[in-house]
């Protein structure tokens, strides 16, 4: 599944305006990057990710770390889905109990 990225976001417009304010070729470069399909938001996210997750210099360890983090993220998503399913089941059970408790009372009153 391919996700589409919006190119004209507030961050990209701000980067372009700031680029023109600082030095006009910089603003022109940002404008060109946006027009040719780049996303300033994605570029900024890549830079932040690169700063946040420094490489150890050992490619085998970095690969293992990346795979482990991906697996843990998948497990976390599966667990969150499981918890949501439990929550929905509990809510459904409580609602059915409420409806069952309510129905006999109406039959007795009539």
Per-residue model confidence (pLDDT) at position 86: 95
Confidence at residue 1, expressed as pLDDT on a 0 to 100 scale: 45
pLDDT-flagged residues of the chain (< 70): 1-7, 38-41, 104-110
77 shares a domain with 109: yes
pLDDT of residue 109: 56
Domain count, the chain: 2
Same domain, 110 and 89: yes
Q: What range does the domain containing 40 cover?
A: 1-54
The answer on 20 and 65 residing in a single domain is: no
106 lies in the same domain as 80 = yes
**Which pLDDT does position 18 carry in this prediction?**
87
**Statement to judge: residues 27 and 69 lie in one domain:** no
Which long-range contacts (C-beta less than 8 Å, at least 24 apart) are formed by 6-13?
Answer: 6/39, 6/41, 7/34, 7/37, 7/38, 7/39, 8/34, 9/39, 9/40, 9/41, 11/40, 11/41, 11/44, 12/39, 12/40, 12/41
Residues 107 and 75 in one domain: yes
What local confidence, expressed as pLDDT, does residue 79 receive?
Answer: 96
């Amino acid at each position: 599944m391919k996700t589409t990225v919006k190119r004209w976001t507030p961050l990209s417009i701000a980067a372009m305006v700031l680029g023109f304010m600082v030095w006009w070729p910089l603003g022109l470069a940002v404008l060109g990057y946006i027009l040719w399909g780049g996303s300033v938001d994605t570029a900024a996210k890549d830079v932040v990710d690169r700063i946040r997750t420094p490489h150890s210099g050992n490619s085998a360890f970095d690969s293992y770390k990346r795979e482990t983090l991906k697996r843990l993220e998948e497990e976390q998503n599966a667990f969150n889905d499981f918890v949501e399913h439990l929550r929905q089941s509990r809510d459904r059970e409580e609602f059915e109990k409420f409806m069952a408790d309510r129905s006999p009372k109406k039959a007795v009153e009539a």
